[in-house]
Amino acid sequence: MSVFGFYPNKQITTGEGGMVLTDDDDLAEMCVSLRNQGRGSGAGWLAHERLGYNFRLSDLNCALGIVQLSRIDEIKAKRRQVASWYLEKLADDCRLVLPGEREGCDVSWFVFVVRLAEEFTQDDRDRILQQLAVHNIQAGNYFPPVHLQPFIAGQYGYNKGDFPITESASRRTIALPFYNNLPERQVETVCETLKELL
């Protein structure tokens, strides 16, 4: 199975929602049932074979996604341009670990996340985020470790310290402003401000 998210900040958006692809007919039937309130394929409208959800994507949302899909090459190129500006303007700062693009890979840039060097603490990162906000730059931590999310930790018994590398990286991440049409001068302002705060 492959899963795609179409939230507004993704490369392609439908406003909300997502898509699951599979070549397994049984899995496909289960997904259709789950997204349609648990209804079975041959059952009536009010016959629910299992607990399901209302994950049906409206025709309007789908139309938006189809138009976006027709522009995917343009969207990816614009995002690659914004990422390249960030990489260029931050490349010389040893206090940052920048995302990379392996040779032969085609990164479909979704967000631009930098990681502070190891000498920085979570408190340092949080102060930087607060100061970026003071300068009207929207940035955030990205992501808190999944294993420490209350549901996952409670369901599976994970604790702080179970994945120390993940936790260390998470304490030092900053998602910088990123979208298709972010102007280079704004990228420059973000980079200059971040360097000053560092």
Contact status, residue 137 vs residue 177, Cβ threshold 8 Å:
yes
Please, which residues bridge with residue 116 across strands? Answer: 96
Residue pLDDT tens, the chain, 198 long: 999 999 988 999 999 999 999 999 999 999 999 999 999 887 777 889 999 999 989 999 999 999 999 999 999 999 999 999 999 999 999 999 999 888 999 899 999 999 999 999 999 999 999 999 999 999 999 989 999 999 999 999 999 999 999 999 999 999 999 999 999 999 999 999 999 999
Q: What are the extents of the domains in the chain?
A: 2-70, 73-197
Paired tokens of 16:
């909300």
**Which pTM does this prediction carry?**
0.87
Centroid of chain to Cα 128: 21
Q: Which CATH superfamily is domain 73-197 in?
A: Aspartate Aminotransferase, domain 1 (3.90.1150.10)
Longest CA pairwise span in the chain (Å):
63
- Integer Cα distance of 86 and 5 in angstroms: 24
